[in-house]
């Protein structure tokens, strides 16, 4: 993909973990590929740690290289990439430092992209400071999650940022929307006559969406203990994936057509009655256990976590969509830390045939299913039944695979790389619009309020397992189970 779109990419939090692990590696990969970034495009890192550009480039050399190029680092490409990078030492509390930033970027070409890889408490001060020196014109601003602590705080941030930047200038990033299988889910549904007629309540029995992590809170104990899994993962990633799975066909793939359909799904979510929260929501917290033979501590003993913490590290939900296509189909959402495996996947369980002349396996729930794996390996797998070789009509489960790394010769684009290119080129379809965000917060708030006011602690689960038993029991009430339990 060739481009002549000049840009100046200003990275706040330029020495932070997100910048080192994701943002700068993604920009390097786009640079290395050739033609994806305009030759004139510049990257201006902003931080208060390094003293000068040379010091910052040494920091980048030390901290970014481990995260780039699965197939090895191209030293020539890396050297030319570093030439794109400038550095401004900036104290967010000093207005005169923003004047220095303005002077540093004033003569640089193209659209300005301000990426706020900082805590959400800094979003509004940074935006005000940018506006005070005239840097909110000809600009786009990227906001990382979490955007607020609840609906009220989210609205406060959006109101303040919206006074400075127009909605079409604001890019609320959710990196799961940039993953290749999510893009292929849209292609699968809306590009093939095979699947779209089946994508409805008459043929789908249930849908599972899981984002599981082996890691704990690592060095983020202070942040996580005031956030929890519901805010950190459900309100954004899981509900965004659900809206992609369940949306109606848009009339085109332009930004507002796609986001209008996602919004309709979020607004059609059946409200959670506080009296039913115990039936449709499970919260858990990991205790000491082991992952792949390595002992791990309990959440309450992690650095930065309160010893009597009731913050949830696991959430499982049963969600219903009150519209014509999905009425009566349960969507089961699940996320957690210190689980048995690192996996993100969408499982579409189709209904069994109404009558089988071939034997009971054809009547088994899940005999026909579509599994869309988002991580660690990105694949789409369709399960169906086939006759086993030999005498008799004995059925066995078989699958058809789309393994992207095997089928497509060219390398896959990482989620952040795709999304950063979309920001530079002004494509909003894969970013969260404000009304989507508000609808998601509005739906989770009854659960947040019930859990924050409850005297009941989260249900315990041992690190290295798949969460509390109550999660499995919730699915069993609907005659189904999580995918790994069936296997």
CB 30 within 8 A of CB 417: yes
Q: Is residue 215 part of a domain?
A: yes
Q: For residue 145, what pLDDT is reported?
A: 84
73 Cβ contact list (under 8 Å, min separation 6):
65
Cα 126 from Cα 45, distance rounded (Å): 14
Question: Residue 243, CB half-sphere, CA atoms under 13 Å: how many?
Answer: 32
- Whether the model clears a pTM of 0.85, i.e. scores above it, the answer is yes
The CATH number assigned to the domain holding 274 equals 3.30.360.10
- Intervals of the chain under pLDDT 50: 1-3
**What CA dihedral angle connects 443, 448, 453 and 454, to 10 degrees?**
100
Q: For residue 404, what pLDDT is reported?
A: 65
Provide the token pair at 210.
Answer: 């899981």
Cα 227 from Cα 188, distance rounded (Å): 35
What is the phi-psi region of residue 400: left when phi exceeds 0, alpha when psi lies from -120 to 50, beta otherwise? beta
Q: Are residues 103 and 205 both part of a single domain?
A: no
Q: Are residues 355 and 285 both part of a single domain?
A: yes
Question: Was 456 annotated as part of a binding site?
Answer: no
Q: Are residues 448 and 304 both part of a single domain?
A: yes
Provide the token pair at 184.
Answer: 């292929």
The CATH number assigned to the domain holding 31 equals 3.40.50.720
Question: Was 179 annotated as part of a binding site?
Answer: yes
Q: Are residues 246 and 318 both part of a single domain?
A: yes
Q: Are residues 37 and 114 both part of a single domain?
A: yes
Give tens-digit pLDDT for 196-247: 889 999 999 999 999 999 999 988 889 899 999 999 999 999 999 999 999 9
Question: Was 92 annotated as part of a binding site?
Answer: yes
Provide the token pair at 312.
Answer: 């949830």
Question: Was 387 annotated as part of a binding site?
Answer: no
| Nearest of 230, 276, 296 to residue 461 by alpha carbon | 296
Q: How far apart are the first and last CA of the chain?
A: 42
Range of the domain at 93: 7-144
Cα 461 from Cα 469, distance rounded (Å): 8
Q: For residue 463, what pLDDT is reported?
A: 96
Task: Give the number of other Cβ atoms within 10 Å of residue 83's Cβ.
Answer: 10
**DSSP secondary structure letter of residue 307:** T
Question: Was 48 annotated as part of a binding site?
Answer: yes
Q: Is residue 428 part of a domain?
A: no
Question: Was 65 annotated as part of a binding site?
Answer: no
**DSSP secondary structure letter of residue 339:** B
Provide the token pair at 254.
Answer: 């332009």
Q: For residue 320, what pLDDT is reported?
A: 98
Question: Was 37 annotated as part of a binding site?
Answer: no
Q: Is residue 420 part of a domain?
A: no
SS3 356: coil
Give tens-digit pLDDT for 11-50: 999 999 999 999 999 999 999 988 899 999 999 999 987 7
Q: Are residues 270 and 190 both part of a single domain?
A: yes
Q: Is residue 149 part of a domain?
A: no
Q: Is residue 163 part of a domain?
A: no
Radius of gyration from C-alpha coordinates of the chain: 24
Q: Are residues 124 and 195 both part of a single domain?
A: no
Which residues is 332 bridged to in the sheet?
Answer: 208, 318
Q: Are residues 207 and 99 both part of a single domain?
A: no
Question: Was 262 annotated as part of a binding site?
Answer: no
Token pair 């449709």 is found at 280
Q: For residue 405, what pLDDT is reported?
A: 66
Catalytic residue numbers read 237
Q: Are residues 205 and 91 both part of a single domain?
A: no
Q: Is residue 130 part of a domain?
A: yes
Total of domains in the chain: 2
Q: Are residues 122 and 205 both part of a single domain?
A: no
Question: Was 70 annotated as part of a binding site?
Answer: no
């Amino acid at each position: 993909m060739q481009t002549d779109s000049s840009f100046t990419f200003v990275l706040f939090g330029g020495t932070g973990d997100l910048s080192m692990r994701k943002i700068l590696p993604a920009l390097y990969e786009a640079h290395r590929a050739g033609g994806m970034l305009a030759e004139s495009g510049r990257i201006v890192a902003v931080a208060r740690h390094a003293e000068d550009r040379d010091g910052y480039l040494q920091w980048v050399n030390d901290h970014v290289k481990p995260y780039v190029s699965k197939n090895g680092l191209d030293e020539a490409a890396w050297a030319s990439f570093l030439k794109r990078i400038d550095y401004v030492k900036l104290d967010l509390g000093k207005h005169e430092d923003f004047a220095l930033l303005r002077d540093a970027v004033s003569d640089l070409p193209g659209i300005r992209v301000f990426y706020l890889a900082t805590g959400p408490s800094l979003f509004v001060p940074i935006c005000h400071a940018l506006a005070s020196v005239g840097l909110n014109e000809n600009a786009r601003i990227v906001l990382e999650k979490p955007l607020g602590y609840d609906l009220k705080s989210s609205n406060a941030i959006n109101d303040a940022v919206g006074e400075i930047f127009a909605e079409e200038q604001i890019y609320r990033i959710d990196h799961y929307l940039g993953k290749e299988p999510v893009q292929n889910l849209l292609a699968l549904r809306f590009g093939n006559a095979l699947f779209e007629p089946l994508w409805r309540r008459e043929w789908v029995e249930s849908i599972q969406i899981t984002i599981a992590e082996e890691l704990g809170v690592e060095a983020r104990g202070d942040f996580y203990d005031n956030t929890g899994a519901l805010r950190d993962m459900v309100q954004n990633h899981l509900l965004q994936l659900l809206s992609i799975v369940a949306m109606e066909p848009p009339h085109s793939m332009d930004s507002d057509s796609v986001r209008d359909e996602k919004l309709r799904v979020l607004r059609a979510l059946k409200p959670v009655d506080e009296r039913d929260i115990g039936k449709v929501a499970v919260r858990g917290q990991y205790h000491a256990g082991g992952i792949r033979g390595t002992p791990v501590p309990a959440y309450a003993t992690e650095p930065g976590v309160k010893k009597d913490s009731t913050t949830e590290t696991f959430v499982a939900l049963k969600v219903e969509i009150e519209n014509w296509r999905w009425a009566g189909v349960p969507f089961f959402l699940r996320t957690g830390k210190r689980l048995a495996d690192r996996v993100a996947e969408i499982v579409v369980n189709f209904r069994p045939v109404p009558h089988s002349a071939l034997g009971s396996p054809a009547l088994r729930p899940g005999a026909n299913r579509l599994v869309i794996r988002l991580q660690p390996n990105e694949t789409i797998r369709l399960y169906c039944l086939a006759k086993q070789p030999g005498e008799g009509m004995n059925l066995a489960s078989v699958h058809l695979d789309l393994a992207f790394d095997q089928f497509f010769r060219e390398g896959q684009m990482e989620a952040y790389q795709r999304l950063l290119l979309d920001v530079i080129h002004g494509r909003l379809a894969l970013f969260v619009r404000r009304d989507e965000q508000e609808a998601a917060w509005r739906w989770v708030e009854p659960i947040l309020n019930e859990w924050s006011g409850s005297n009941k602690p989260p249900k315990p689960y041992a690190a290295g397992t798949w969460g509390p038993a109550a999660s499995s029991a919730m699915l069993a009430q609907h005659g189904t189970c999580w995918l790994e339990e069936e296997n």
